[in-house]
């Protein structure tokens, strides 16, 4: 599996802008349901079905919290990314500095490709 460097703190503003651009590109692809991007002060939410925004937001937050607990339990070190698969949908979650990203997609979408696209620019 390919690995991608996630740079340390003080990520330049440009890179965060790139993240927004990458998310917009990803969102336009087949099978992508939407994304949630949060930082300590704000959140960008773009989910195709608005009635599910709250449920997706709660899940997004829980994925990273539960993932952190499990990672600490097994001393897995810093989380690179988490994938949660449901019956119909899967979620790719990762933290980039103080930004938390969750991309929701149909189960057949290649999440490794989405992960790669998140770090392209």
Where along the sequence are the contacts to other proteins (CB under 8 A)? 1, 52, 55-56, 58-59, 62-63, 65-67, 69-71, 73-91, 104
Rounded to the nearest whole angstrom, what is the least distance from the CB of residue 25 to other proteins in the complex? 23
Residue nearer to other proteins on the CB measure, 27 or 111: 111
Which helix (H) or strand (E) is 50 found in, with range? none
DSSP 98: T
Q: Distance between CA atoms of 34 and 45, rounded to whole angstroms?
A: 8
| Helix, strand or coil, per DSSP, at residue 105 | strand
Between strands 89-96 and 32-38, the pairing is unpaired
To other proteins, the closest distance from the beta carbon of 13 in angstroms equals 26
Q: How far is the CB of 31 from other proteins (least distance, A)?
A: 14
Between residues 16 and 83, which has the closer beta carbon with respect to other proteins?
83
As a whole number of angstroms, the distance between CA 2 and CA 66 comes to 24
Nearer to other proteins, 22 or 102 (CB): 102
39 or 86: whose CB is closer to other proteins?
A: 86
State in angstroms the smallest separation of the CB of 110 from other proteins. Answer: 12
- Residues paired with 44 in a beta bridge: 37
């Amino acid at each position: 599996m390919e690995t991608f460097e996630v740079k340390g703190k003080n990520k330049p503003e440009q890179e965060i802008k790139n993240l927004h651009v990458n998310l917009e590109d990803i969102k336009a692809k087949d099978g992508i349901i939407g994304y949630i991007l949060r930082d300590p002060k704000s959140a960008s939410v773009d989910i195709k079905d608005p009635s599910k925004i709250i449920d997706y937001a709660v899940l997004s937050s829980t994925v990273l919290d539960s993932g952190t607990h499990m990672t600490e339990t097994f001393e897995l070190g810093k989380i690179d990314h988490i994938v949660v698969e449901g019956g119909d949908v899967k979620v790719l979650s990762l933290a980039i500095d103080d930004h938390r990203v969750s991309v929701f997609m149909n189960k057949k979408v290649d999440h490794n490709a989405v992960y790669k696209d998140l770090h392209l620019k």
